[in-house]
Amino acid sequence: DIMAAVGRLGCAAVRSFLWRRTALLNSARCLSKEELPGPYPRTPEERAAAAKKYGMRLEDYEPYPDDGAGYGDYPMLPPQGSESRDPWVDWDDKWYRMNFGDVPHIDMDQYTRARVNPDQKYTVPWNKMVAALLGFFGFNAVMLYLGHQFKHAVPVAPKQYPYNDLYVEKGGDPDKMPEDTIKHYDFPKS
The closest of 92, 97, 125 to 111, measured between CA atoms, is 97
pTM of the complete model:
0.50
CA-to-CA separations, 125 to 81, 121, 128, 130, 131, in angstroms, rounded: 21, 9, 6, 9, 10
pLDDT for residue 48: 94
* Number of C-beta neighbours around residue 81 at 10 A: 19
* Sign of CA pseudo-dihedral 45, 49, 54, 59: positive
**What sign for the dihedral angle of Cα 14, 17, 23, 25?**
negative
Q: Mind listing the pLDDT tens digit of every residue in the chain (190 residues)?
A: 666 665 566 555 555 555 544 444 444 455 667 777 889 999 999 999 999 999 899 999 999 998 888 888 999 999 888 888 898 999 998 888 899 888 888 888 888 888 878 888 878 888 999 999 999 999 999 999 999 999 888 888 877 777 777 777 888 887 887 777 777 777 888 7
What are the percentages of helix, strand and coil residues in the chain, rounded to 5?
40, 0, 60
